[in-house]
């Protein structure tokens, strides 16, 4: 079992997964309202790989949404995550 240090708390892989899912569930309604959505593909060490779908996939501001919306929300729930990348 891999564990990640989170500000004086050890977070298991399952806890990290659960927290990333909570973050995605928080931001998902905003993406859906614009005709898109997001799928979690994997969590590898401190990187979350996602796939923006629907209108979000071809949106001209999807990188801003990814960094300022998705990544910021994920880091709120799982501070040990350093990066979120979109896999097309």
Report the distance separating Cα 85 and Cα 52, nearest Å. Answer: 10
The pLDDT value recorded for residue 8 is 52
pLDDT at 5 > cutoff 80 = no
pLDDT in tens, 50-62: 999 988 777 788 8
pTM of the model: 0.83
pLDDT at 14 > cutoff 90 = yes
Q: What is the CATH number of domain 3-86?
A: 3.30.300.130
- Residue 11 to residues 8, 43, 63, 81, 82, Cα–Cα distance (Å): 10, 13, 28, 11, 15
Segments making up each domain of the chain, as ranges: 3-86
What length is written for the chain? Answer: 88
């Amino acid at each position: 079992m891999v564990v990640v240090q989170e500000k004086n708390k050890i977070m298991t892989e399952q806890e990290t997964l659960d927290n990333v899912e909570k973050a995605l569930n928080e931001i998902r309604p905003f993406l859906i309202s614009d005709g898109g959505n997001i799928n979690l593909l994997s969590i590898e060490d401190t990187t979350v790989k996602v796939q923006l779908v629907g209108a979000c996939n071809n949106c001209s501001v999807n990188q801003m949404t990814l960094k300022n919306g998705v990544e910021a929300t994920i880091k709120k729930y799982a501070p040990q995550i350093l990066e979120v990348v979109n896999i097309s």
